[in-house]
């Protein structure tokens, strides 16, 4: 069963990875810098619903896939090893992968105010 889940993850990542021009290898080697400064949970709520998040060219937002945000409770404090078959070290990597893959946007620098705001919103759900 674990093998099947991994295979589906790999197939999904290959399918979604082919839809964008972002080089994911650069994301795996992005320097780790936790978000700086206090985040604004209300602005994070707005960003979560923003269809242009990360310069996304499509009509999708985080809310498009995660309509019931309360299902995300605890995600901000989880440990992540991989998502979509890519190495992730923390929730910031997970957020960036979601922006890059489904939304087709550009990842945020981990120390950006947008990242701090998205994290503040996710932590407010906890």
pLDDT digits (tens, 9 = 90+) for 38-67: 899 999 999 999 999 999 999 999 999 999
23: domain CATH number?
Answer: 1.10.760.10
- Tell me how far the alpha carbon of residue 110 is from its chain's centroid: 11
Mean pLDDT of 107-114: 92
Number of domains in the chain: 1
Work out the percent of the chain whose per-residue pLDDT is above 70.
Answer: 70
> pLDDT category, 8, cuts 50, 70, 90?
very low
Q: What is the pTM of this model?
A: 0.69
Query: 86: domain range?
Result: 2-125
Nearest in space to 35 (alpha carbons), one of 52, 26, 25, 47:
47
Strands (E), 21-126: 82-83, 86-87
SS3 12: helix
């Amino acid at each position: 069963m674990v093998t099947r889940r991994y295979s589906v993850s790999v197939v999904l990542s290959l399918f979604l990875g082919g839809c964008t021009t972002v080089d994911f290898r650069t994301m795996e080697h992005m320097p780790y810098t936790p978000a700086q400064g206090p985040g604004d949970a209300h602005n994070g709520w707005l960003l979560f619903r923003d269809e242009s998040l990360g310069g996304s060219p499509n009509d999708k937002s985080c809310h498009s896939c995660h309509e019931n945000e309360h299902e995300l409770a605890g995600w901000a404090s989880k440990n992540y090893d991989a998502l979509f078959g890519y190495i992730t070290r923390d929730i910031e990597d997970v957020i960036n992968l979601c922006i890059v893959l489904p939304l087709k946007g550009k990842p945020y620098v981990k120390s950006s105010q947008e990242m701090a705001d998205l994290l503040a919103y996710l932590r407010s759900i906890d």
